[in-house]
Amino acid sequence: MSTAESNPSDVDTARSTGAGQDSQPAARPVYLDGHATTPLAPEALAAMAPWWHHQAGNPNSPHRHGQFADAAVERARRQIAELIGATPGEIYFTSGATEANNLALVGAVLAARAQGDVRTQLVVSEIEHKSVLHAAYSLERQGFTVATAAVTADGVVDLDRLSRLISQETLLVSVMAANNEIGALQPLTAIAEIVRTNGSLLHVDAAQIVGKLPFDASVFDYVSLSSHKMYGPMGIGALYVSGAAAYRPQPILHGGDQEGGLGPGTIATPLAVGFGAAAALAAIELQNDARWTGALAERFEEALRERQVRFTRHGAATARLPGSVSVAFEGIDATELIAGVSARISISEGSACQSGQITPSHVLRAIGLSDSLLRSTVRLYFGRYNSENDAVLAAEAIASAVAKLRLRTGDRLQ
């Protein structure tokens, strides 16, 4: 293994100063795909390290090693709860936000039915993550119906249309806080008021927002969290279940009674510790991160304009997750563009969860993009560890690739 491979921080240092970017073709590209996953915070990595070996122990074991591991898991639970204004007893660890979404929708709906609730309608927005949409539609086999709430061209839920969808038959409404493709932020307070007026349950997929912007979970019944979207380790997430929620979800997996029976199986102590450390760090860095990442996204767009690159940015300028950029270069195939810049920057086409599929993004469809713009859209996220040099480099790489692709297709205009 080379020094660069064993020491990512060395590469980051060289990149942030601009050193060696042109003279070292083997250098790693700039990472700009934070919607898919964020780099692990060094503080989280350090916190996890002892629990893999020196302090290894099953938190469910009665001996001292188990007790130490259990104390570490509970500390992490407190750190996550503090970040979102919850109590530790309202946090249940899962394998990730996908499991948390399924547990919130399927588990809560089945719990309501088991307790005699006769409501059968679920409402989800058009731009939810596939784990929410598929979980909701899976319940149709059990007699439930699913209604989809339309969004505006900026990817924001249309409140008037949402109000008309929700009725006394609506059991649960699910809306993501920040979209994983275009970064659109939802008016959660207004949505909660509409939902509460009808007495429905409210689930929020907060995977993209928690750890990046302030978030208060206490307004909602269920909230899904993802560690690796907030500089924590992959493989772990959490579901917030409000102590005031009308129904505690039924388990959707079966085994032991870990996590109050909602998450059977041994909790991965190192992952929980890393998740907790990332949450504690986020609580400190929220304001700085938001300012920094937002400024980098603006610098990137400014650098594109300086290079006279034609582009269309999706989503509102203000109601957008800081650092998030969804942008189309009309007439340019996104897949070819991504390949053309891959030696210099790592970016995505639409949602990472549907990579390899031919079907266009349902999110981009929902906001009304033309087929041309759909095929031309790429997604970037400027995170905590990116630099201004990264933003300018990204613009340079894209400008160069777009120019080459336009020349190849006979369009010589930038």
* Catalytic machinery residues: 353
CB 53 within 8 A of CB 250: no
76 contacts: CB under 8 Å, gap ≥ 6: 272, 273, 275, 276, 277, 279
CB 340 within 8 A of CB 413: no
CB 250 within 8 A of CB 107: yes
Gyration radius of the chain over CA positions = 22
Distance CA 88, CA 300 (A): 39
71 burial (CB, 10 Å; 0-12 / 13-18 / 19+) is exposed
Which backbone phi and psi does 251 adopt, to 5 degrees? -65, 145
Q: Which stretches does DSSP call E strand in 8-160? A: 30-31, 91-94, 121-125, 145-149
Task: With H, G, I as helix, E, B as strand and everything else as coil, classify residue 182.
Answer: coil
Q: Residue 122 has what DSSP assignment?
A: E
Helix (H) or strand (E) holding 213: none
Distance CA 308, CA 78 (A): 49
Which backbone phi and psi does 202 adopt, to 5 degrees? -130, 120
336 burial (CB, 10 Å; 0-12 / 13-18 / 19+) is middle
Q: Which stretches does DSSP call E strand in 32-190? A: 91-94, 121-125, 145-149, 170-176
Which alpha helices (H) appear in 248-387, and where do they start and end?
A: 269-306, 334-341, 362-366, 371-375
DSSP for 30-51 reads EE-BTTT-PPPPHHHHHHHGGG
219 burial (CB, 10 Å; 0-12 / 13-18 / 19+) is middle
Q: Which two tokens stand for residue 375?
A: 């095929």
Distance CA 79, CA 276 (A): 5
